[in-house]
């Protein structure tokens, strides 16, 4: 009988790499399809590549077109205004579609609305761009350290 020896680490690394490529594929599709998010899938791809291949991680992170929103999120937790608007539009469209299918007073659309309101509050609270070098330093009393203020809009 033929015995095959599987290396667990190689299989796990291949699964992370597969997640990275799946996220990259969906993210690239999202660039061209209106209403489909791209940054979320690219963040998933970056996460998968960070565990599966440092080379692909660095390529995506430093990509001239796909990299800037990923770097803005990683370094400053910033979400571009266009991405925020697309997220709000997608959440609203999803609620309308779910309400039409199930009825506006069904429990599922109400739960969906509650979760999306929380998600929208989180997305809306993130800065829209990274701080610039000329942004003044502020010292919040709670932190006790100086950091750059985020321009929120």
Among 76, 91, 113, give the residue marking a domain's end. 76
Same domain membership, residue 68 and residue 18:
yes
Same domain membership, residue 119 and residue 61:
no
Same domain membership, residue 86 and residue 40:
no
Q: What pTM value is reported for the model? A: 0.67
Same domain membership, residue 65 and residue 88:
no
Name the token pair of 7. Answer: 């290396």
Among 76, 99, 121, give the residue marking a domain's end. 76
Q: What is the CA radius of gyration of the chain?
A: 20
In whole angstroms, what is the distance from residue 64 CA to residue 56 CA? Answer: 14
Weakest mean pLDDT among 19-28, 46-55, 86-95, 112-121? 86-95
Q: Does residue 112 come out as left (phi exceeding 0), alpha (psi in the -120 to 50 range) or beta? A: alpha
Q: What values do phi and psi take at 64, rounded to 5?
A: -65, -30
Among 76, 100, 131, give the residue marking a domain's end. 76
Beta partners for residue 5, in sequence order: none
In whole angstroms, what is the distance from residue 150 CA to residue 138 CA? Answer: 10
Same domain membership, residue 108 and residue 58:
no
- pLDDT tens digits, residue range 21-69? 999 999 999 888 876 778 889 999 999 999 999 999 999 999 999 998 8
Would you say 90 and 35 are in contact if contact means Cβ atoms under 8 Å apart?
Answer: yes
Residues spanned by the domain of 9: 1-76
Please state the rounded mean pLDDT for residues 6-17: 87
Strand, coil or helix: 82: helix
């Amino acid at each position: 009988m033929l015995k095959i020896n599987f290396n667990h680490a190689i299989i796990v690394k291949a699964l992370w790499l597969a997640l990275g490529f799946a996220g990259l594929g969906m993210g690239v599709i999202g660039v061209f399809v209106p209403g489909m998010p791209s940054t979320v899938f690219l963040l998933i791809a970056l996460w998968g590549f960070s565990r599966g291949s440092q080379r692909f991680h660095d390529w995506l992170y430093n990509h001239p077109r796909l990299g800037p929103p990923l770097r803005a999120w990683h370094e400053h937790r910033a979400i571009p205004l266009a991405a925020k608007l697309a997220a709000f539009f997608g959440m609203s469209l999803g609620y309308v579609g779910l309400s039409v299918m199930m009825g506006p007073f069904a429990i599922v659309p109400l739960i969906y609305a509650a979760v999306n309101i929380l998600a929208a509050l989180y997305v809306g609270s993130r800065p829209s761009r990274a701080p610039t070098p000329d942004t003044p330093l502020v010292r919040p009393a709670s932190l006790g350290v100086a950091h750059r203020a985020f321009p929120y809009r």
